[in-house]
């Protein structure tokens, strides 16, 4: 079901893309650099969701809550403590992973849609706490002016985001192709049979959830690095839905599909959205065509075609 990512051709393509991304700040106006940084961050978030959704077969419907918790942890560390910024970069994924552990331990008792529904409920609870705890989180105002001094400019935050995202993607790729990743995929395909051969299904699923939450936390910290602020929308369920659509659009059975989905949605939302009020109509048509003609997503279709040709 999954299509291989690394072969000689795709290896060259990935390095080509990286090289282009490295020189882009020399060529493009700063707004587009900012936009690409946003795409990278949201792509990282979508790829982390795809770890549990595409590779684990778990309906993680409220993944944005880990993104938001990572972002808030980072912002609170920057604004309420005098510790160096790297502490905040460590704290963000740890806080998100801890929340992933707690929520996962509760939700893992259920499966399929029931898992997803409980996840949405718990995630919404976290959102409500952040939204209402005015003295600590700033309530609906959020927290502003929390930029990292050395990387507050658009270009430097872009390079920082690019390097961090690349490292995270490599780590996630290694995880997916590790023995743990293979077992994780076997659980997705047949949990009963996996259990019969001695796999601890719940433990593997919980580990997968914690790992995905930690990477979402990294994405949250990157968001604050680029935007310099956090607000409760980052933990709201509608963002989770948007990220889910990114996975489906790009191809949830491919490793880089969610990154492509993020690029399409962020570009549509920002560029098309600026020029027309009806960008959601464009997105709706794109999604409709996709469901009808490319149910495995753009990259899924591309890899299937390449595979059948070979």
Are 169 and 222 contacting, i.e. CB atoms less than 8 angstroms apart? no
3-state secondary structure of 229: strand
Nearer of residues 269 and 304 to other proteins, judged by Cβ: 269
The H or E element containing residue 180 is helix 179-189
Give the DSSP letter of residue 141.
G
The contacts found for 190-193 with CB under 8 angstroms, 24 or more apart, are: 191/111
Task: Give residue 8's Cα distance to chain centre.
Answer: 27
Tell which phi-psi region holds residue 226, choosing left (phi > 0), alpha (psi between -120 and 50) or beta.
alpha
Asked whether 258 and 212 are in contact (CB, 8 A), the reply is no
Q: Give the CA distances from residue 154 to residues 30, 35, 67, 224, in Å, rounded to whole numbers and listed in that order.
A: 7, 10, 21, 12
Q: What is the dihedral of CA 31, 36, 42, 47, to 10 degrees?
A: 180
Chain residues in the site for other proteins (CB under 8 A): 20, 27-32, 34-35, 38, 131-132, 134, 139-142, 144-145, 227-229, 231, 233-234, 239, 269-270, 273-274, 277-278, 280
């Amino acid at each position: 079901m999954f299509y291989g990512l690394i072969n000689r051709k795709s290896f060259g393509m990935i390095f080509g893309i990286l090289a282009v991304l490295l020189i882009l700040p020399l060529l493009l106006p700063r707004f587009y650099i900012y936009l690409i940084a946003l795409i990278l961050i949201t792509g990282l978030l979508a790829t982390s969701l795809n770890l549990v959704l595409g590779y684990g077969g778990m309906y993680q419907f409220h993944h944005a809550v880990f993104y938001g918790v990572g972002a808030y942890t980072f912002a609170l560390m920057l604004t309420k403590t005098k510790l160096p910024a790297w502490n905040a970069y460590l704290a963000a994924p740890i806080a998100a992973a801890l929340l992933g552990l707690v929520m996962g331990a509760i939700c893992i008792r259920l499966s399929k849609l029931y898992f997803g529904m409980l996840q949405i409920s718990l995630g919404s609870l976290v959102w409500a706490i952040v939204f209402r705890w005015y003295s600590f989180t700033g309530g609906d105002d959020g927290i502003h002016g929390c930029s990292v001094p050395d990387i507050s400019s658009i270009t430097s935050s872009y390079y920082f985001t690019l390097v961090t995202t690349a490292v995270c993607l490599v780590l996630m790729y290694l995880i997916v192709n590790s023995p743990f990743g293979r077992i994780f995929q076997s659980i997705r395909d047949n949990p009963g049979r996996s259990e019969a051969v001695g796999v601890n299904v719940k433990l593997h699923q919980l580990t997968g959830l914690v790992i995905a939450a930690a990477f979402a936390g990294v994405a949250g910290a990157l968001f604050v690095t680029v935007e310099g602020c956090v607000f409760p929308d980052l933990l709201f369920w509608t963002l989770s839905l948007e990220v889910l659509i990114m996975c489906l659009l790009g191809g949830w059975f491919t490793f880089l599909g969610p990154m492509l989905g993020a690029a399409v949605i962020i570009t549509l939302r920002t560029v098309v959205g600026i020029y027309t009020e009806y960008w959601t109509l464009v997105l709706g048509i794109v999604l409709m065509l996709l469901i009808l003609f490319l149910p495995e997503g753009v990259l899924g279709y591309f890899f299937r075609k390449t595979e059948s040709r070979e």
